[in-house]
Homo-oligomer: A and B are copies of this chain.
């Protein structure tokens, strides 16, 4: 029985969401992720939504062979529970910070987010770090937006 750590990969990150309708719309339509898989358990009263870039049909890469997957967990009923408001990190004790999405053009991406009514936590022009932005997902989780310099100036 052996294991080769050189084959290990960072597959996914998971966090909980209050309302899957809002979150699916955000990660799919705003951030452009593909909904790779869903799992629903009526017995355990939760649903899982797996998102990733690279279309599963055309890439042919199975979910467990990928990196860069986002798993969103919905505990059924949270969307109708006024008391449900997840701690999204970044508070006094909050260890969790953010996910980061790389884009081809930061200013163009931010202009598009604005046109879609996305909430900004930090615009590129805020503060000293002009090369990043932070937007908020429907629960308030932070999503950093970074430009991938290898894409800059490529024909869309």
Point out residues on A near B: beta carbons under 8 Å. Answer: 1-17, 31-33, 52-53, 62, 64-71, 73, 85-89, 91, 93-105, 107-109, 111-112, 139, 141, 144, 146-151, 154, 156
Our pick among B14, B69, B100, B102 for the contact of A97 (Cβ within 8 Å) is B14
**Residues B100 and A13 in contact, CB atoms below 8 Å apart:** yes
Secondary structure of the A contact surface, majority rule: mixed
- Note all chain B residues with C-beta closer than 8 A to A150: 62, 64-65
**Residues A1 and B111 in contact, CB atoms below 8 Å apart:** yes
A3 CB to nearest B CB, Å: 4
- Note all chain B residues with C-beta closer than 8 A to A5: 31-32, 112
